[in-house]
Amino acid sequence: MENKIEVRNFNFYYGDFQALIDLNLPIRANQITALIGPSGCGKSTFLRALNRMNDTISIARADGEVLLDGKNVYDPDIDVADLRHRVGMVFQRPNPFPQSIYNNVAFGPRVLGTAKKQDLDQIVEESLQGAALWDEVKDKLDKPALELNPGQQQRMCIARTIAVRPEVILMDEPCSALDPVATLHVEELMRRLAEKYTIVIVTHNMQQAARASDWTGFFWLGRLVEFNETTTLFTNPHQELTESYITGRQG
C-alpha cells in the first residue's frame, strides 16, 4: 500500500515545551487514518503540523521530516500556500466566511486562480454534491452561509475544501460541534471522500474512530503509543496503555 505522507523522527515545540516527541508513522493513500487520545496529547498539534497551520504561532518550532510524496514539507523551498492547497483542512468548529454559500465554496478556486470564471458554477455544484449538500442548498446559493445549521455549515466547509482539489484532507474533530445525525452524515461523507482523497481525522470519539477509519494512531502525552489497522488496534491492542484507554479505564 502506498504511503501518501510519511512522518519521520518528528518533534514539535511550543517555546520550551515539547508537544510532540519523536513521531514515526505512515499515512496511507486513499485511506482514512484516525488519531485518538486524550485532550492535550498532541493529536491536533500533529494534524496542524502536516500542512504547517502551526506556522501562524510565532513560538512554534518543528524538526524531523513530514514527507508528502517523498518531499519534506518543512524544506525551505516549500511554498506553504501551495502545500495547504494540496493538504486541505476542515476545522473543529464550522468556520464559514461571512459571505454567501456560493462565494464560500468558490473562494479557493478564485484565490488560487485554478478555475476559469465560466467553470466556477460547475466546480461549486460538484463540490457541494461531493459534500452531500447540493440538494439542500441548490436554491439558496446566494444566501449567507451563516444561515445554515451547524451540520450543513460543516459539510459546506468540506465542500469548500474539496473545491480546490486537494490530495489530502485533514479533519480536526469535525463532528464535535454536531448532533448525532449530522455526525453520521459527515462520517458517510468521509467514507465516500476516501475514494478520491487521503483523509486524516482527529477525534475524541473512539466509536467514531472504530466506525469510520482504516488506520488508527493512539497518542499519549505527545508520543505515538500505537499505530495499527483500526480493527487490530481496537480488538487486539499491543500496548497496555492503548487497551486501558480504549476500554475507558485510562484517560
The answer to whether 217 contacts another protein (rule: CB under 8 A) is: no
From 45, 51, 213, 230, residue interacting with another protein (rule: CB under 8 A): 51
Report the nearest approach of another protein to the CB of residue 182 (Å).
13
The answer to whether 99 contacts another protein (rule: CB under 8 A) is: yes
The answer to whether 160 contacts another protein (rule: CB under 8 A) is: yes
* Binding mask of the shown chain, residues 131 to 150, with x at each position contacting another protein by CB under 8 A: -------------x-xx--x
Closer of 93 and 196 to another protein (Cβ): 93
The answer to whether 43 contacts another protein (rule: CB under 8 A) is: no
CB burial readout 17-50, b (16+ within 10 A) else e: eebbeebebbbbbbbbbbbbbeeebbbbbbbbbb
Measuring CA to CA, which residue among 43, 21, 19 is closest to residue 219? 43
Report the nearest approach of another protein to the CB of residue 52 (Å).
9
Q: Which three cell numbers stand for residue 194?
A: 476516501
Contacting positions for another protein (CB under 8 A): 51, 53, 56, 58, 81-86, 88-89, 91, 93, 95-99, 107-108, 110-112, 144, 146-147, 150, 157, 160-161, 164, 177
